[in-house]
Structure 1
């Protein structure tokens, strides 16, 4: 099946896309201002964070750039990205009050959240794990009972830990950096978060060998997507088009798309290694539910 899909894609690569002219409230505002206000995180390694030079970097930042390029091509004018810090506390408010046009970092889909925002197609999947000391016995449900586990409040990670072990002692932390700081200071025994983000925290910590991320299979699986304003299908379609085109590029070994993925997730050089075969299977499942897009270039 995969070989057939890739063969079909290789045939499409020689064609040119005939795309609709998209409009809508968000796109109208972007066309008028020449700016996409993009919410993202400062501490969600490897998805979105600020590096030592004070620059916004990360996998989600690269995807935002692809969305900017697509908007620029569709609107026929220069478009800039304006990065706005979005946190677990304010990201939904920033969308609903129109401060930002989308948020792409490490937000996960839930049905409850669709009451206030829409979601793009998923561009990554992982799940809730914990980071703890390398000699810690924390991992199983029984081991978490009565133990101090740091969580960011009102997140899917917090819910996943309590669903898995209602007897865990929950310690609320402000953000990823605060959770890691409390773990290093011994104020908590583990910090719960998305496994791939915890892997990034471990790799960028002062002593990576001191920590481990467990379990091998998450306590709860989650799909990452961009948050979008409700009921603006034209803007959502443009964002989805950009993401699906990127995913097709990874599946079919297009250089630009693969370079983006491997920059962050290569198993030897990436910030937070994640198997290419695994993500290819995930992307294939998503792309197969859409019309294949002729890929010319990014």
Structure 2
């Protein structure tokens, strides 16, 4: 934290003196003519592949706006975007070791993660819940005492399950899927009675099923999950540019149209409409942008 603060203070001092330090990310982008962005292959509506195997989604759209602004700002109209597939397990190490300039997926900003990577302004606020079969409903964690539950490896959800299992002695049998579709298949196959994950991702998986009403999402939220675009935590100059693009989208109201495109309209490839109006928590973020890792700021 002290190093990041020192870098930020240096940036402000240099700016006031008329200098324009670019930091490692911008310097590398300028020298190579390439910006490297991570995407998730199967996490609609945030980050996934379309029928032509092109990355699309809500977070991808926001990153594309950032990249377009960088092209203009740096005077690099030919700037190439290299899209790199990431998983829940590989995304943060790839940001931390400089392999990615932007991580355009579904990553929760929390205090633990902020020690190894940076985050943009918050771009979405989710809550974790439980997905189960309507014929065998799971409404809360007490319903799962001594029973199998699944979540996805490398996520805050599976970490929370392990922590609360130990704290409350729930004797859960916790299973780990390599990605969200595999975790859902574990529930479908009956190996788990519930799947814990962010509500928007559960909704996306549910609505893609032939009979979505066979599944239900618990009403009681377990945790609050503010998403951000992953960045180099030591590069204050790059974060300022990314955040400036997002602030402009919020201030202009354009973010609402982008949101409607991915959460309230039919999306590729199957034309599924998640029918998820913007939450009060995210509306508050649009009015007063923040990159806080404190869940209490979003309640």
TM superposition score normalised by structure 1: 0.81
Whether 1:173 aligns to 2:177 is: yes
Give the whole-Å Cα distance in 2 for the aligned partners of 1:267 and 1:282. 22
| CA deviation after TM superposition for structure 1 residue 131, in Å | 1.5
Query: What's the offset of the Cα at 1:91?
Result: 1.2
**Aligned equivalent of 1:149:** 149
Residue by residue, what CA displacement relative to the aligned partner does 1:94-134 show, whole Å, maximum 9, x if unpaired?
Answer: 11222211212110011111221111111111121122112
d(CA) in 1 for partners of 2:161 and 2:67? 36
| Number of residue equivalences | 264
- Residue in structure 2 matched with residue 190 of structure 1 by the alignment: 194
In structure 1, what is the Cα distance between the partners aligned to 2:130 and 2:51?
A: 26
> Which deviations, in whole Å up to 9, do the C-alpha atoms of 1:15-63 show, x marking residues without a partner?
xxxxx95622111111122221001211211111113332211100100
CA RMSD of aligned residues (A): 2.3
> Contact (CA 8 Å) 2:63, 2:102: kept in 1 or not?
no
Q: What are the equivalent positions in structure 2 for 1:1-298 lying under 5 Å apart?
A: 23-78=22-77, 79-166=79-166, 167=170, 168-214=172-218, 216-250=219-253, 254=254, 257-266=255-264, 271-276=273-278, 278=280, 279-286=282-289
Q: Write the distance in 1 (CA, Å) between the matches of 2:50 and 2:240.
A: 31
Tell me, yes or no, if the aligned pair for 1:150 and 1:190 is still in contact at 8 Å.
yes
Q: Distance in 2 between matches of 1:286 and 1:47?
A: 20
What is the SS of the residue equivalent to 1:29? helix
SS in 1 for 2:274: coil
Q: Secondary structure at the match of 1:111?
A: coil
Question: What is the CA-CA distance between 1:277 and the residue it aligns to?
Answer: 5.8
TM-superposed CA distance for 1:221, in Å, is: 0.6
Q: Is the 8 A contact 2:129 2:221 kept in 1?
A: yes
- Whole-angstrom CA distance in 2 between matches of 1:277 and 1:144: 28
After TM superposition, which residue ranges in structure 1, 4 or more long, deviate above 4 angstroms?
163-166, 267-270
In structure 1, what is the Cα distance between the partners aligned to 2:61 and 2:83? 12
Give the direction of change, closer, same or farther, for the CA distance of 1:204–1:137 in structure 2 (3 Å limit): closer
For 1:212 and 1:62, locate their aligned partners in 2 and report how far apart those are by CA, in whole Å: 29
Q: Which runs of 5+ in 2 are unaligned?
A: 1-18, 293-299
Matches of 2:265 and 2:283, distance apart in 1: 14
Deviations 1:247-270 (A, max 9, x none): 2233xxx4xx43311011127887
- Alpha carbons 2:36, 2:83 under 8 Å: kept: yes
Cα gap change, 1:158 to 1:277, in 2 (>3 Å): closer
Per the normalisation by structure 2, the TM-score is 0.81
- What SS does structure 2 have at the residue aligned with 1:225? strand
8 Å contact 2:38–2:104 — kept in the other structure? yes
How far does residue 189 in structure 1 lie from its aligned partner after superposition? 1.4
Q: Which runs of 5+ in 1 are unaligned?
A: 1-19, 290-298
Structure 1 window deviating more from structure 2 (66-75 vs 266-275): it is: 266-275
